[in-house]
Amino acid sequence: MWTINVMNNSDFPTTERPGTGELPHGRPPQTEFDTGLDYPRLGSVTFRRGTLTDNQEVLFEEHWPRLGRVLDDTPVDIDSWFGRSGHPTIVEIGSGTGTSTAAMAPCEADTNIIAVELYKPGLAKLLGAVVRGDISNIRMIRGDGVEVLARMFGEESLDGVRIFFPDPWPKARHHKRRIIQSGTLNLIASRLKPGGVVHVATDHAGYAEWIDELVEVEPMLEYKGWPWPQAPVLTDRQVITKFEGKGLDKDHIIREYLWTKK
């Protein structure tokens, strides 16, 4: 077992109106793990203001209180938030602009999808797609994915975790910021129910080599490779994401990874 010590949120005050999806500027609170494993380190996070269109601002004001949350220490009550019980739940870390998220959701209408993203304009685009498409099975959390998993979800509470095209942090001195680390895989595994699925995709050759070294590092996870036709959750990403498209334009090879919780 491992324990976590969470830095005090009161050290990072914000004057924004509650419910508008704002986060404090500067270095965010960060969980301290005592597992001896490697976890991505957060740098300072700054957010540009005024980057939403007027229409996005209106949609955010109206719909975010129902569809979105900001990182905090209150555990997510999944059944209450989605207004239904007994449905599998998947967390997507780093949903970006949500293109793939919104496209996949109607194909898995019985699954609860929680998109986690730091960048507010990306969440605004996804929120707009959810509202316009009347997509009922997507909710959103603004925050760092590792922090959200550690602080807002209990052990064995999720059926899947997705990480599509995470920032590769290509410079060697920044590799410690890569989200795929031994500690992150351990944290994900602890949040998955037995049989739950981890799905990672990257188009960065250096990151793929990094992940290749970690596929067997977490004893609670069984590496299934790719493809895995018997996966109990949808693994067809339906559409090409923004970052995937950029990679394909450069003739990058897409690598996908699947694990299941033992």
Q: What residues contact 152, with CB distance under 8 A and at least 6 apart? A: 69, 71, 72, 73, 74, 75, 76, 141
Asked if 11 is an active-site residue, the reply is no
Q: What residues contact 98, with CB distance under 8 A and at least 6 apart? A: 115, 117, 122, 123, 125, 126, 129
Query: Does 47 show up as a binding residue in the annotation?
Result: no
Query: Does 34 show up as a binding residue in the annotation?
Result: no
> Cα(149)–Cα(152) distance, rounded to whole angstroms?
6
Query: Does 244 show up as a binding residue in the annotation?
Result: yes
Query: Does 171 show up as a binding residue in the annotation?
Result: yes
> Cα(186)–Cα(57) distance, rounded to whole angstroms?
37
Q: Is 225 exposed, middle or buried (0-12, 13-18, 19+ CB in 10 A)?
A: exposed
Query: Does 60 show up as a binding residue in the annotation?
Result: no
Candidate list 167, 212, 236, 249, residue with the active-site label: 167
Cα Rg of the chain, angstroms: 18
Query: Does 167 show up as a binding residue in the annotation?
Result: yes
Query: Does 243 show up as a binding residue in the annotation?
Result: yes
Q: What are phi and psi of 47, to 5 degrees?
A: -125, 125
Query: Does 62 show up as a binding residue in the annotation?
Result: no
Residues in binding site: 92, 117, 144, 167, 171, 203, 241-244
Residues in binding site for substrate: 171, 203, 241-244
Residues known to be catalytic: 167
Residues in binding site for S-adenosyl-L-methionine: 92, 117, 144, 167
